[in-house]
Structure 1
């Protein structure tokens, strides 16, 4: 396949992952916390994009999703600290998840990088709570850990189920 066709193919896949994430995002509002944050299973689209398309394309896909969320009114922020630590940094991290190789164990592809990224993402949200809301550490941990842990568990299971099938169909790796 020539270079132009390859570029178009990747752009189409990136657009597909953006669309999937944006369609799933409103469904995550069912579990929304009072001041934002939810079990964001919509992030599975970005984790898949990063592992299937590579971390740079995953990052671009995540940032396009972020911009679209603000344009569509799906995101609310409370100042510059909230914007950076609740949105820009976490979405960039999720998009870059593919920098960590998959661990092949008993015929399964295990995204151990997802665990690392979700820990760093949680720290980012803790920083947002500290800087944007002046929330004490205990309250901040109580608020942020449950929904981030829920997101990790749901996305991890979805990844284990979806990734091998999608990887086979898209034939990128």
Structure 2
């Protein structure tokens, strides 16, 4: 079977999983922020796509997930908030593909990747808050920080607990 078709299929399945995980997180009100954003492990499947299938599929999957997320339950009153909150922020999750070839069954590297791409996503949300929601930088950091930190920690925890199985999948 064609390698690209396999990568595309795996990516589509993991994007669907990310969407499903986001739906589940929406059922738990305590995880929701009042103006959007939530603590969720939905970014973990997109991160895995980057590790397994590389930068191109990771970034493209992040873009796809971001657009689906917007269409299902999104809010943007300016093109910039759409660009930063739904496209760039989720495309950043696929940047784990940069270290795809550096992946050597090291859980530390896996978690560092989660921290780095989670930080990039956080930065895009903060930029959106400052420039398009017209909140101050500290207000945007304080608003976006808790749910992004919670999401990063949750992804690291679930990723670490399932790491041995994920490692086998990522080598396949």
Relative to the length of structure 2, the TM-score reads 0.86
TM-score by length of 1: 0.85
CA distance in 1, matches of 2:6, 2:55: 16
Return the alpha-carbon distance in structure 2 between the equivalents of residues 88 and 40 of structure 1. Answer: 18
| Shift in Å, 1:104 | 5.5
After superposition, what is the alpha-carbon deviation per residue over 1:80-100, rounded to whole angstroms, capped at 9, x for unaligned?
Answer: 121112111111100122313
Q: Which deviates more, 144-153 or 114-123? A: 114-123
Residue 20, structure 1, aligned to residue 12, structure 2: no
2:69–2:86 Cα contact (<8 Å) kept: no
Q: CA RMSD in A?
A: 2.0
Determine the structure 2 residue equivalent to 1:110.
Answer: 109
Which shows bigger deviation, 7-16 or 40-49? 7-16
1:47-58, aligned counterparts within 5 Å?
47-58=47-58
Deviation at 1:66, TM superposition (A): 2.1
C-alpha offsets along residues 126-157 of structure 1, whole Å, 9 cap, x if unaligned? 11111111112232221111011001100111
Gaps of 5+ in 1: none
Seen in structure 2, the aligned counterparts of structure 1 residues 98 and 159 have a Cα distance that, compared at 3 Å, is: farther
Gaps of at least 5 residues in structure 2 are none
* Alignment check: 8 A CA contact 2:63 2:88 kept: no
Question: For 1:28-107, what aligned pairs fall within 5 Å after superposition?
Answer: 28-29=25-26, 30=28, 31-71=31-71, 73-100=72-99, 101-102=102-103
Give the distance between the partners of 2:25 and 2:36, measured in 1 at CA.
11
Contact 1:55 1:96 in 2 (8 A): yes
CA 1:67–1:136 in 2, change beyond 3 Å: closer, same or farther? Answer: closer
CA-CA distance at 1:170 after TM superposition: 5.7
Give the secondary structure class of the aligned counterpart of 1:110: helix
Residue 102 of structure 1: CA displacement?
Answer: 4.2
